[in-house]
Every structure is written in structure tokens, then in C-alpha cells.
Amino acid sequence: MRKTIELLRSHNEIKVVDEELDIYLEIPHLAYAEVKKKDGGQALLFTNVVNKKSGIKFEESVVMNIFGSYKRCEILFGRTIESIADEITNLLHMKPPAGLFDKLSMASELFSLKNIFPKRLNAEGACQKIKYLDDNIDLYKLPVLTTWEQDGGPFITMGQVYTQSLDGDMVNLGMYRLQVYDKNHLGMHWQIHKDSSHFFDQYQKAGKKMPVSVAIGGDPLYTWCATAPLPYGVNELLMYGLIKKKPAKLVKSLTTPLYIPHDVDYVIEGWVDTQNMKIEGPFGDHTGYYTLEEPYPVMEVSAITMKKDRVFLATVVGKPPLEDKYMGWATGKIFFPLLKTTAPDLLDYHMPENAGFHNLILAKMQPFYKGHAKQFMHAFWGAGQMSFVKHVIFLDEKAPKLENYETLASYILDRFTPKSLFISEGILDALDHSSPESLVGGKLGIDATAAHKVEAPQLLGDEELLTKVKEIIPDAVNLHQFMRRTKNPITVISVNKTKNAKEYFDALVDLSTNIRIVVFVDEAKNDIFNSYMLIWRVTNNMDALRDIFISGLMVGIDGTNKNLLDGFNRRWPDDVDCTLSVVESLKERGIWNLDDKIYEKYQL
């Protein structure tokens, strides 16, 4: 991590913050503001870290936002992201050699692969120079951040969680948020679909405690590997070897059978009692909403070890854009070749960060027959972590570049009809709050590979249309029409909701000659002119089975917060918002330097 900091310093990609700052809200609020700046701002090194509540001043610094730009990602990977994807493509398409030259070339490639396998060392690692055991164990000695006011406590946000199957044949490296309950207990937020949860099931059935080792820091690629969407049972550290051309060097944990990289900054070891669960959360999450309290496994810490010269790595989650925008970009590019093995006619895909990644995928394909796009939808919804995706739009090979949103939206809307929609049901990420029940809900696919003949509506101005809408829907407050030049303009209506949105939609049928796609949002906390945050809000809040309405050529989408009016019996979470008093304090001290326009744009 020290080498990483010096590397970023040499590229002018890190800013040192020497002012005294609290691990409670202050440090994460500054990091949250920094990543909202142009090109992700800079990495931040906080050198004067305190816990004001307990009066602790920490020896170590806290570093954040290290992955928070395209440039920094490639600096940390040590090579272009495209070169890694090309290497994976070559490996997947390796053919028997035809001649001597091919044999020599293949031998060279195969020989280099020996370096991808992690290497176990016999000695202790730098991460074990300082040891805390038994009564000396104290998680509060680590500068674990509390990011949001409603958080259930401090959470480790960049932990590398090492686990193994009951028989020890398979190992897994994942990233799960980890709540600090007290000096020697951590919450294990591994969701039911994740590999560590599968291992947990094995230990639970056997009636045995499960070993876990959590590492923090070291080479940033260890942390990225923890997020890599590899198939079940594949060791994520293989990606480290593939990228770096050298094996990850591992040492055994002191009190568990698990191996961790020798040069991480911290290791928290422990055992999970599979018979006991504890309420975890709430936690402001990358969805931009709080994830509500639920029971999760608990680890009893058996050892904490650390480097002498250590740095605590953390990230911040909340409303987009975030550091995961750039990590997700790298992941998408690198694993595209593996996705093509499931969907060979896929040409490109992109996950807009303001839809929280799993809420929307844009995909370009080569359609060869009727229903090809729907076949791809099923493939996506059944492929590893892609199965969590809620909404997917498929386009043909003639479509504009997927990152060119304005042109792409026009291309989609000019060929869209309600026939383009495909609504299904499937599993959802445990963080999704909008479905009628947890873990399962509606899926929306849009087939934009075929161009339908569409007549444009008779457009009215916003004010004239709003007047007509208010006559029909007294709860309507404001209205704005996006993409008016297309054949399917999008009309966003804000309401002070007193009815189910389906009733509003049905009332608008008389205006179907003027409206094609209508989206309802709450008046509170929404700016109907801010398309970036509207996409965030609506893709978070909608469940396709419940919230899409069709009448002739008119389509309605309910992007409002759900309640009993909608038959919604779950608790609806709050938005993740900055604590205003903390922001004002940072401003008064001259530390907060985010432009107010950016603050408003991203609704911090």
C-alpha cells in the first residue's frame, strides 16, 4: 500500500489531507464529495485520523478513492485493461499448434501461466509483524469508518474475505461489508447467492464453526480480485497472477487454516458460529438507499495482525457516481470474453453507473433470427452475477456506441413499441428494496434490435400538457418531456401521491395522442429536469411485474416510493444523504471544496 501511495503520488493522483478528521462521518463525507468531481477527483490520504467519541488518535493513515478514475485503475493494474481482456480471449481460443512456430509460441504462453497460481510461503508475512491475541483483541484499534448517520455502526468497506469449503478443496475471496459490533465480533454480510454463503451452508449442515480471515490493504489488486465475478470454486487470486505475471504470495493465518497475501496491511481472523445470527445494518449502500436490518452470520475474532508501517484502505458508498464506477468499468472490460462464452453473438455491453450497475445493462448484439434478443435475455439472467440484473436493453450491431447515451436513447426510442417489452421474474440482489418480496422480483428486457414503425405523438409544450394533466390528475405537481425529437418522448410527472400510480396512468389514456412513455416520480426529493438522478431513482424503485403499465402505444412506469397504496408491505428505506451539519463544519474549516452545483446535481 505504501508503494501504491508513492506510485499515485508520482502521477499526481493523490492528495494528502493533514487536517484532523474523524472516522465518524467526516472522512467518508470528504471522500464522497471527492469522487463526484470531474474524472473522479484524486485519491485521498488522511494522515491525522481520530475517533472524537472515544478520544483515540490513530497511528495509521486512511486512504480512499484509489480506484476512483480510469487513469488510476490502469496505474494500479500496471497495464491497459484492454490488454488483460485480450489475454483472456487468447486463452479461451487457444488452438492446437499447427507447426513448430505455433508450438514454441504456445509453450511460451503455457509457461507464463505457471505464475498465475498463488504460492504458499512457510514463514510469517509482513502482515503478521504485530499480533493481538486473546484479551488484546480490539477491533476499535482499527480506524473503521462510520459513513452515514443512520448506519448501524462502523463498517469495513474494502475487506478481502477469505473462506474455504468444508473439505478445504475450494477457496473463495469475496468482498462483503463487515459491521463492527464490539471489540471482537464482526458481521458477515454475505448474501444468500454468494460463494461464501454456499460454504457457510456446508459448515452449518455439518454443525461446525466456519473459519474466516479478512485482509485489508496490500496490493490494490487483491481488493479488486475480491470483486471479480469468477465461476463458483475458482480462486479469485488466479486473476492477480494473470494480471501481474507473478503469483500472489500467501502465508497461513495464525488461528485459522486460511492463507492470505503476505503483504496486506491488516488481517482479522476468526470463526463463525453457524448456529447463531445477529441483526446487521442498517447501512447506506451503493444503491443510494439504506439497506435495512437483517440477520446475518457473526464472526468471533480470534486474532488481529498487522504491518508495522500500515495504511487503512476504505471506500465510500451511496448515490452515484462512486469509486465502483471505475472498478466496474475494469471488471466489465476484463470479463467480457468470459461472458461471450455464454452469449457468443454479444458484441459489447455497458452498465451505466447511475443505474447502480445491476439495475440496467445496455448490450449490443448480432441478431440472426427472431427471438434472438429474448434468448440473450434468458442467458444474461442465468449467468453468474448477471442473474441479478433487473433491466436489460438489447440493440443490434448498427446501434451507436453504448456510452453515447443521448444518441443511443434516440436510436432506441425511434424503434420502440410496447411489443419491444419482455417482462419476466427472477432472482434479485439482496440489496434491492423495490420488489414485493426480498430476493425475487420482476425483470424487464427491451428488444431494440428490431425497428418497429412508429408514428410520433402530437406534442404539446410542457406547460400546456401539465395543465391538461392536472385537470385529470390533481396530485400532479410538475412535468417535463425528454427526448421530444424522437417518436417516443418520455414524459416525467412528479406527484404528491395519494393513489396507486396505475390509477394515474389509466386517467391519462385520454391523452394518449400526446403521450407515449410516462414516468411517475414523487415530488419530494426529485428534480424532474435531472435525467442522471431520475434514472438512478426509477431503476432503483421499479419492479417490472408491478410497475409497468400498457395501453395501446402508451407505456407507464411507476418510479415512486412504494407503500400500502401499492400493496407494498415491506419497509421502504431512506435515501442516503450527507449530514448537513458535518458538511457545514467541513466548509467552515476550509476542507470541503465541492462546487454547490455538483452537490445539487448528485443530490448529496
Q: Cell 465510500, residue?
A: 316
CB 317 within 8 A of CB 157: yes
Return the pLDDT at 356: 81
Coil vs helix vs strand at 285:
coil
Considering the domain architecture, whether residues 129 and 153 belong to the same structural domain is answered as yes
Q: Are residues 13 and 162 in the same domain?
A: yes
Backbone angles phi, psi at 207, to 5 degrees: 70, 35
Q: What pTM value is reported for the model?
A: 0.93
The cell for 39 is: 474524472
Residue type, 152: G
CATH number at residue 303: 2.30.110.10
φ/ψ region of 109 (left if φ > 0, alpha if ψ in -120 to 50, else beta) reads alpha
State whether 298 and 180 are in the same domain.
yes
**386 within some domain:** yes
Cα gap 266→243, rounded to integer Å: 23
Mark which of 314, 339, 356 sits at the end of a domain.
314
Amino acid found at 233: G
**End-of-domain residue from the set 314, 338, 356:** 314
Query: Which pLDDT value is given to residue 464?
Result: 97
98: pLDDT strictly greater than 60: no
* CB contact at 8 A, 110 and 239: no
Task: Kindly state whether residues 498 and 547 are assigned to the same domain.
Answer: yes
Does position 243 have pLDDT exceeding 80, yes or no? Answer: yes
Q: Are residues 296 and 362 in the same domain?
A: no
Percentage helix, strand, coil for the chain under 3-state DSSP, each rounded to 5 = 30, 25, 40
Q: Are 491 and 534 in contact (CB under 8 A)?
A: no
Long-range pairs of 113-116 with CB within 8 A, sequence gap ≥ 24: 115/241, 115/245, 115/246, 115/247, 116/238, 116/240, 116/241, 116/242, 116/247
The owner of cell 467480457 is 336
pLDDT the model gives residue 529: 97
Place of cell 427471438: 371
Among residues 471, 420, 424, 406, the alpha carbon closest in space to that of 448 is found at 420
For 316-332, write each residue's pLDDT tens digit.
999 999 999 999 999 98
- DSSP character for 231? P
545 and 412 fall within a common domain: no
* Helix 81-92 with 70-77: angle, nearest 10 deg: 60
Contact 161, 173 (CB under 8 A): yes
Find the domain containing 180 and state its range. Answer: 2-78+117-314
> What residue type is assigned to position 523 of the chain?
E
In this structure, is residue 93 part of a structural domain?
no
Q: What is the percent of the chain with per-residue pLDDT over 70, rounded to a whole number?
A: 96
89 belongs to a structural domain = no
Neighbouring residues of 403: CB distance < 8 A, sequence distance ≥ 6: 350
- Rounded to an integer, the average pLDDT of 481-488 is 97
DSSP helix/strand/coil, 137: coil
User: What is the distance, to the nearest Å, from the Cα of residue 75 to the centroid of all Cα atoms in its chain?
Assistant: 21
**CA–CA separation, 541 and 438 (whole Å):** 14
Reply yes or no on whether the pLDDT at 486 is more than 90.
yes
How do 391-395 and 361-365 pair as beta strands?
parallel
- Tell me how far the alpha carbon of residue 67 is from its chain's centroid: 13
391: which strand partners? 444
Mean pLDDT of 115-122: 91
The owner of cell 459513513 is 147
The CA distance from 40 to 63, in Å, is 15
Angle at 369 between CA 367 and CA 373, to 5 degrees: 50
Three-class HEC string of 544-577? HHHHEEEECCEEEEECCCCCHHHCCCCCCCCECC
Are 240 and 262 contacting, i.e. CB atoms less than 8 angstroms apart?
no
- 307 with 352, same domain? no
In the chain, the amino acid numbered 72 is R
Please check the confidence at residue 414 and state whether its pLDDT lies above 70: yes
With respect to residue 393, please indicate whether it lies within any of the assigned structural domains: yes
Predicted confidence band of residue 95 (pLDDT cuts 50, 70, 90): low
The per-residue pLDDT for 230 is: 81
Confidence of residue 381 (pLDDT cuts 50, 70, 90): confident
CA distances (Å), origin 116, targets 74, 230, 248: 19, 15, 8
Residue at 88 is within a domain:
no
Judgement on whether residues 298 and 331 belong to the same structural domain of the protein: no
* Alpha carbons 585 and 39: distance in angstroms, whole number: 26
Of 409, 424, 448, the domain-final residue: 448
Ramachandran category for residue 318: left, alpha or beta (phi over 0 → left; psi -120 to 50 → alpha): left
Residue tagged 417516443 (cell numbers): 488
What is residue 231's predicted lDDT score, i.e. its pLDDT? Answer: 79
Place of cell 440493440: 395
- 517-568 residue pLDDT tens: 999 999 999 999 999 999 999 999 999 999 999 999 999 999 999 999 999 9
pLDDT tens-digit series, residues 252-296? 999 999 999 999 999 999 999 999 999 999 999 989 999 999 999
Residues 420, 494: one domain? no
Distance set, CA 316 to CA 62, 65, 130 (Å): 12, 8, 27
CA distance 310 to 49: 13
Instruction: Please say if the pLDDT value at position 466 is more than 90.
Output: yes
Number of domain units in the chain = 3
Distant-in-sequence, close-in-space partners of 375: CB < 8 Å, separation ≥ 6 = none
Q: Is 588 domain-assigned? A: no
Q: What are the residues whose beta carbons fall under 8 Å from the beta carbon of 124, sequence distance 6 or more?
A: 251
**Same domain assignment for residues 493 and 413:** no
Residue 127 near residue 215 (C-beta atoms within 8 A)? yes
The cell numbers describing 133, all together, are 491475541
Question: pLDDT tier at 156 (50, 70, 90 boundaries)?
Answer: very high
Within this chain, do residues 474 and 349 fall inside the same structural domain, yes or no?
Answer: no
Phi first, then psi: give them for residue 344, nearest 5 degrees.
Answer: -65, -20
The DSSP secondary structure of 394-449, one letter per residue, reads: EE-TTSPPTT-HHHHHHHHHTS--GGGEEEEEEE--TT---SSBTTEEEEEEEEES
303 and 334 fall within a common domain: no
Q: Dihedral sign, CA of 95, 74, 163, 381?
A: negative
Parallel, antiparallel, or unpaired for β 155-156 and 178-182?
antiparallel
Q: Is the pLDDT of residue 106 over 50?
A: no
Query: Does residue 152 form part of some domain?
Result: yes
- At residue 361, does pLDDT exceed 70? yes
What would the pLDDT profile of 7-38 be if each residue is shown by its tens digit? 999 999 999 999 999 999 999 999 999 999 99
Distance of alpha carbon 304 from alpha carbon 561, whole angstroms: 43
